[in-house]
Amino acid sequence: MNLQTSVKEGPEINLTSLIDVVLLLLVFFMVSTSFVHETDITLRLPQTQTEANNVSSSSDVIEIAVTEAGTYLVNGRLLVDDQQDTLSSFIEEIIGDSREQTVVIRADAKATHQAVVTVLDVVGKLGFVEINIATVILPEV
């Protein structure tokens, strides 16, 4: 009589086919994935100009300055308030029907972005095509 119990082996899971399927899925997704191309923004950076190449006369230029407090100066004259309508009517009063002038926007370093965007919005709505934002050119060291 055999009283010893036999050791039962547990069920085996064959992982070879599972690994093959995972590798095939990996290859499939790598081949079929289209990679997203980020959209590019093209910028036209301003070029420095010498004094001889600057705008010929100051009557062709409308200079709008934005102060730290958010007030506007148009050709050196302070506006009554900082409202969009006031700025628009004052510019129309200066230029009349002509929209050929160059608009130069100068903003204080501590001026709010909203004040500068308001000026850009007003001159854009008035139909100006050539709008420049003045930058500070530092001397070379």
- Considering Cα of 83, then 85, then 89, then 95, what sign does the dihedral take? positive
Mean pLDDT (the chain) is 80
- The pTM of the full predicted model, rounded to 2 decimals, is 0.55
pLDDT tens track for 45-57: 666 665 544 444 5
User: Residue ranges per domain, the chain?
Assistant: 59-133
Measure the CA–CA gap between 49 and 45, rounded to whole angstroms. Answer: 13
pLDDT tens track for 50-97: 554 444 455 678 899 998 888 999 988 899 888 899 999 998 888 877
Q: How confident is the model at residue 134 (pLDDT cuts 50, 70, 90)?
A: confident
**Right CATH number for 59-133 from 3.65.10.10, 3.30.420.270, 2.40.170.20, 1.10.443.10?**
3.30.420.270
77-78 sheet: strands from edge to edge: 77-78, 72-74, 61-66, 102-107, 131-133
Measure the CA–CA gap between 99 and 127, rounded to whole angstroms. Answer: 6
